[in-house]
Amino acid sequence: QVRLQESGPGLVKPSATLSLTCSVSDASMNNFYWSWIRQSPGKGLEWIGYFYYTGTTNYNPSLNSRVTLSLDTSKSLFSLRLTSVTAADTAVYFCARGLYSAATGHFYATPGVWGQGILVTVSS
């Protein structure tokens, strides 16, 4: 049973860089899409981007110039780096593995397994 666990600082200063790590247990990282999604307090869900195991990345244009995702399969780690943060970046950040369907045999970009989430507050 795959498990994902986010870690990182809960408080980041404005204009600083937010860095989070997702530890992946009991599963190979190959073949899957790996995403970060965030949810602002009391708000909806925003997809940040994904890293496909081949090295392809795809970022939400709303964050494109500020975000970098990386995957370290040797350490089973998936990372997010978001630069120049403001209060608007305050949110719960989730890492997620893309869905695999046994019924179709397909690997999907849509998140299938999620971490529990980590609250990051941007404040001085």
Can you give the binding site for other proteins, defined by CB under 8 A?
35, 44-47, 50, 58, 60-62, 94, 96, 99, 101-104, 108-112, 114-117
Q: Which is nearer to other proteins, 6 or 79 (CB)?
A: 6
Helix H, strand E, coil C: the string for 33-82 is: EEEEEEECCCCCEEEEEEEECCCCEEECCCCCCCEEEEEECCCCEEEEEE
For tokens 């870690």, name the residue.
7
In this structure, are residues 20 and 80 in contact, taking their beta carbons and an 8 Å threshold? Answer: yes
- Coil, helix or strand at residue 87: helix
Least Å distance, CB 44 to other proteins, is: 5
Shortest spacing between CB 46 and other proteins, in angstroms = 7
Which CB atom, from 96 or from 122, has the smaller least distance to other proteins?
96
Residue among 3 and 81 whose Cβ is closer to other proteins: 3
Kindly state the smallest distance separating residue 124's Cβ from other proteins, in Å. Answer: 27
Structure tokens belonging to residue 5: 């666990």
CB of 69 to other proteins, least distance (A): 13
